[in-house]
Amino acid sequence: MAGRQRPHLGRGRPPGQHALGRPAARYGVGHAGPGRVDPVAGGADGRRFSAAGAAAGHGRIALVTAPGITANEARRIAARWIGESSPDLSPQLYEFDAGYVVWGAGSEPQLGAGRGVIDRETGELSVWPALPVEVVAQRYRAERAAFGRPLPAGDQLTQARRDLDRVGTPATITYLLLDGPPVTARSIKGDSEPQHHPLVADALRRLPLEFRERGYQRCSEIAALSSALLADDVRRGRPATLDEARKRVFRGAELVTYRVREPADPQDAVPGAPCLSCLAMLAYFGFDIAPPEDFWPEVDS
């Protein structure tokens, strides 16, 4: 991102391109208000911030060392993905070493229809252009080789299998646009404890009680911070320091969270403000927190 300024949240920027060149609707430039609070580091005065915005992206790769997704599981994931938008199409599957290319086939050509790739190790679904399946597989391998596979904060393979048998909503998804591969993180469900990056885990341990909302360790914003730092550690071969996280990893980053609800729910795909715990953590890692225009309720004078 040009200038690599401080990371931010907010609204107002027109659609553009993120670092990988894929389309991404990006909104807003947040700004630091007077007396920005850093509750994790200490000295919090209880001031509450909020933020909202919108962004979209895809293509993140992750690494989980566990038995991978089977072809049958991939077909079920593909059927759910295709059925949500085009229930009349038949799911098709092409298996390759890193996963499965999936798409919907019908009697009529589908204008603008893309391909999906289901990662064999994680079950994560990413969306790609409607190119020949061999080309999609080749590009997927090339991106994974170029950028590596970030370690997610949650067990994505378990989550993917869990979603096959249970309703995946309600949930939230956070998009974190960096100077490099974007990070997509979902709120963490399941019985296992999240495995956060040491910097994130340390900050969570020291987060004051008044900033701890229910389930704060499983929020998608926290998972996104962890995944970005874990990916940076893998690429550089050593853990980042807190100063490096603030000044290099998250410098110029943009973050937004969407609600994930049932398709008929009007709140589905609506941007949502991070909770108080996440706002405290974002401020700790150097994000400028700006309240949305409609944050303060109207009061009778």
d(CA 271, CA 266): 12
Do 10 and 290 meet the contact criterion of CB atoms below 8 Å apart? Answer: yes
**Mean local confidence (pLDDT), 8-16:** 34
Instruction: Count other C-beta atoms under 10 Å from residue 294's C-beta.
Output: 9
Per-residue confidence at 290, pLDDT binned at 50, 70, 90? low
d(CA 99, CA 254): 29
| Higher-scoring residue by pLDDT: 45, 127 | 127
- For residue 71, give the H/E element and its range: helix 71-85
Whole-model pTM: value is: 0.57
Average pLDDT over the chain, rounded to whole?
A: 71
**Mean local confidence (pLDDT), 41-63:** 29
d(CA 166, CA 169): 9
**Mean local confidence (pLDDT), 196-200:** 95
Do 140 and 99 meet the contact criterion of CB atoms below 8 Å apart? Answer: yes
pLDDT tens profile 53-85: 222 222 333 333 346 889 988 998 888 888 877
pLDDT at 242 over 70: yes
Do 13 and 177 meet the contact criterion of CB atoms below 8 Å apart? Answer: no
Q: What dihedral do alpha carbons 40, 38, 221, 204 form, nearest 10°?
A: 0
For tokens 């953590």, the residue is 281
Percent of the chain with pLDDT over 70: 62
Per-residue confidence at 172, pLDDT binned at 50, 70, 90? confident
The predicted pLDDT at position 80 comes to: 82
Q: Specify the length of the chain in residues.
A: 301
pLDDT tens profile 29-38: 232 232 333 3
d(CA 293, CA 167): 34
d(CA 105, CA 272): 35
Tell me the domain boundaries of the chain. Answer: 66-147, 151-288
d(CA 7, CA 12): 15
d(CA 259, CA 273): 9
| Higher-scoring residue by pLDDT: 299, 176 | 176
| Higher-scoring residue by pLDDT: 235, 1 | 235
Cis peptide leading into 170, omega within 30 of 0?
Answer: yes
Do 134 and 165 meet the contact criterion of CB atoms below 8 Å apart? Answer: no
**Mean local confidence (pLDDT), 137-156:** 70
**Mean local confidence (pLDDT), 193-219:** 92
- DSSP letter string over 202-254? HHHHTS-GGG--TTGGG-HHHHHHHHHHHHHHHHHTSPPPHHHIIIIISTT-E
**Mean local confidence (pLDDT), 148-177:** 66
> Per the structure block, which two tokens stand in for 164?
């096959």
The predicted pLDDT at position 38 comes to: 38
